[in-house]
A and B are shown apart, each in its own frame.
Chain A
Amino acid sequence: MSRGIWQQLAALTPARIGLGRTGSAQTTAETLRFALAHATARDAVHTPFDADKVASDIAALGLATLVADSAADSRQTYLLRPDLGRRLSAEARDRLAAAAAAPIDLALVVGDGLSSSAVHAHASAMVSALLPHIRREGWSLGPVVVARQARVALGDEVGEILNARLVLVLIGERPGLSSPDSLGLYLTHAPRQGRNDGERNCISNIHGAGLSPDIAAFKAAWLMREALARRLTGVALKDESDRTLEAAERPFTLQRPG
């Protein structure tokens, strides 16, 4: 009976529950399954980022794009020098400055972060899910910046150069064993270099078994509207989009059996 219950429970979460044990230890099969997942995640960190492909997927949505490098010139440098991943290379800064025109409402940045596979898998779908909200609100956009060896704070410099009221950074999150391809969204009002993490709002865990791009876009749009109205992001802005979301979902909930 116990085995059946644990199969039911295990279906409710990607967490490793109901593993059984031998003495106090995990079984050989589970130990090796874990080792394989770790090996896969280790490999995912070092998968080269295909920025041109991501940029062309986003361009296919009808948006202008610009591929840029951070000041970190290799993966090794990126891992040991986060400060360099938060700044644009001199060359990228010049090109972005040349592309900047009138002030815009929203700058979109797509960065590889710690999982280029997350960006390969979900970035263009995420941008696509954001577009209807952006168009409905009439927000003006600059070129979507696709950045290599990028950290979240790179968006501050991009937003500052593009003279944007908001910057939204789509970035590969540190890969987990069960989700080597998880994307995160970071929203910052009045972006400029030196912003701290307490001044951002985050929506994380966008991947196959996590949040869908549509739900994430809904939450991001809610936050962006509030951020523009209240002229701030960060700890003073709490995400209460779920109330709206629950209301919107109610008819579907009623159709569920039980």
Chain B
Amino acid sequence: MTFRQTIGQRTHLFRDLKDLMAKATPLRSGDQLAGIAATSAEEMVAARMTLADQPLKLFLSEPLVPYETDEVTRLILDRHDAAAFAPIAHFTVGGFRDWLLSEAATTERLAAIAPGVTPEMAAAVSKVMRNQDLIAVARKCRVVTRFRNTIGLPGTMAVRLQPNHPTDDARGIAASIADGLLHGTGDATIGINPASDSLPVLGDLLKLLDELIARFDIPTQGCVLTHVTSSIQLIERGAPVDLVFQSIAGTQDANTSFGIDLAVLQEGLEAGRSLKRGTLGDNVMYFETGQGSALSAGAHHGVDQQTLEARAYAVARAYEPLLVNTVVGFIGPEYLYDGKQIIRAGLEDHFCGKLMGVPLGCDVCYTNHAEADQDDMDTLLTLLGAAGVTYIMGVPGADDVMLNYQSTSFHDQLYIRDVLGLKRAPEFETWLQAQGITGLDGRLLPQGGAPLLAHLTGLAA
């Protein structure tokens, strides 16, 4: 099926639906690298005008990645919830945008349609939305998940405490955890990216987190962000695994490059739940994603990177995750060139995830070979805070000394709480007050958390 749009004397032709989607996408280096981006500003707007007129139903009959050869497409279409889709089934892409922004699209109605929204529909509508639209609609979406606390309640934003160390040194990690907890972070998870993929090392890190959480009765969950097959093996060996982590992507071939398929994610989910370690809920999965991962693996099928990113959220939601975050600027300038592209992508990812009913957080970040800096991160953080982002990262001084990139700092999350009045997960907020780390207003107390600090200093000694 081809599409055409005439503007003045010129007619723009679009080969098929994926070509139309790619050309309608705000400019980014990854789509240019793939050779699928619009080649003029007018062509981009012509594509958006054409896309706005397409019925949402079209995405159910015209898969962008072949159904026969891609299990992610099969997941999306076979598990599509037609009843949830019914109230929006008559919309075009443009009509869907208008409805999303209207008063009729309440938090309750948005939650009800979420299982009927495919990633391609979410991506399509996002392409005809400005940044403020992405913020305004995402802010109305509500996704709540539970393990040992409650994440995603209105007016809250959680933080993953990310205490990475270049050689997984337990004392160095404990020192970073101490600093993070005393800044009031860690309600999303205390999540370590290990440098090693050695099972004995991973097992020791899990024990460190388990003992700390148990000893201080911290209403949070630990995570060692290793491959799902390692977590399954660790669970078999009796290790205390709270959350099962995996990086995922939006096509079967890209997932193959990560060494996974849907079956192994199901195994991970079942292994995680078998331990019954959650006290408030059994959302045991933690996923990370990022635009460009499929292209990076040579597995993009000519589909634009933002649409493929939304497809990764369809993978995520099948496993009822506690946490999902885009690591938006991590992949590098060949996919998102500068601050402008990273900011746009962060808002798109957050919007698409929330619209699909996924608890989307964001690693607001960049690398040193991208044209971006901390000012760009301040901007994206502020916009995502306004959009109701589920959680962000808390990295000491914003400098991840293991993964070699810059994210948001313990200070940054204090800033956004101050400016927007955002609270933590309620159970964690109560715990921080009981520890004397924060006051009743949620602000840090001077010299707070002495017993915790003394214990962690002991661990670090």
Which of the residues A24, A44, A79, A211 comes within 8 Å of B167, measured between beta carbons? A211
Give bound CA distance, A194 to B427, whole Å: 48
A250 within 8 Å of B (CB atoms):
no
Which of the residues B230, B333, B406 comes within 8 Å of A80, measured between beta carbons? B333
Q: How many A-B residue pairs have CB under 8 A?
A: 185
Which residues of A from 176 to 196 have beta carbons under 8 Å from B? 176-180, 182, 194, 196
Q: A9-B457, A45-B368 are in contact. Are A26 and B414 (CB under 8 A)?
A: no
Q: Which of A49-57, A135-143, A154-162, A233-241 lies at the interface?
A: A233-241
In this complex, which of A15, A35, A180, A234 has the most chain B Cβ atoms within 10 angstroms of its Cβ?
A15
Q: Which of B59-67, B107-115, B172-180 lies at the interface?
A: B172-180
Cβ-defined contact, B200 with A177, below 8 A: no
Cβ-defined contact, A15 with B369, below 8 A: no
Give bound CA distance, A243 to B204, whole Å: 12
Cβ-defined contact, A196 with B369, below 8 A: no
> Which residues of chain A are near B306, meaning CB under 8 Å?
none
A74 within 8 Å of B (CB atoms):
no
Q: A10-B175, A12-B460, A17-B179 are in contact. Are A176 and B167 (CB under 8 A)?
A: no
Give bound CA distance, A82 to B334, whole Å: 7
Q: For the complex formed, measure the closest distance between the CB of A128 and the CB atoms of chain B, giving whole angstroms.
A: 21
Which of the residues B166, B175, B259 comes within 8 Å of A210, measured between beta carbons? B166
> Which residues of chain A are near B298, meaning CB under 8 Å?
194, 196
A95 within 8 Å of B (CB atoms):
no
Give bound CA distance, A236 to B230, whole Å: 9
B301 within 8 Å of A (CB atoms):
no
Question: Sorted from nearest, which 10 A-B pairs have the closest CB atoms?
Answer: A16-B397, A176-B404, A13-B172, A235-B259, A198-B259, A24-B414, A196-B257, A9-B175, A17-B179, A41-B368
19 example contacts (A-B, Cβ-Cβ < 8 A) are as follows A2-B453, A12-B169, A13-B396, A14-B165, A15-B175, A15-B397, A17-B178, A24-B414, A24-B415, A30-B397, A35-B374, A79-B333, A176-B368, A176-B400, A177-B399, A210-B166, A238-B199, A238-B233, A240-B198
Q: Chain B: residues with CB nearer than 8 A to chain A?
A: 29, 32-33, 163-167, 169, 171-176, 178-179, 195-201, 227, 229-230, 233, 256-259, 296-298, 332-334, 337, 367-369, 373-374, 396-406, 409, 411, 414-415, 417-418, 447, 453, 456-457, 460-461
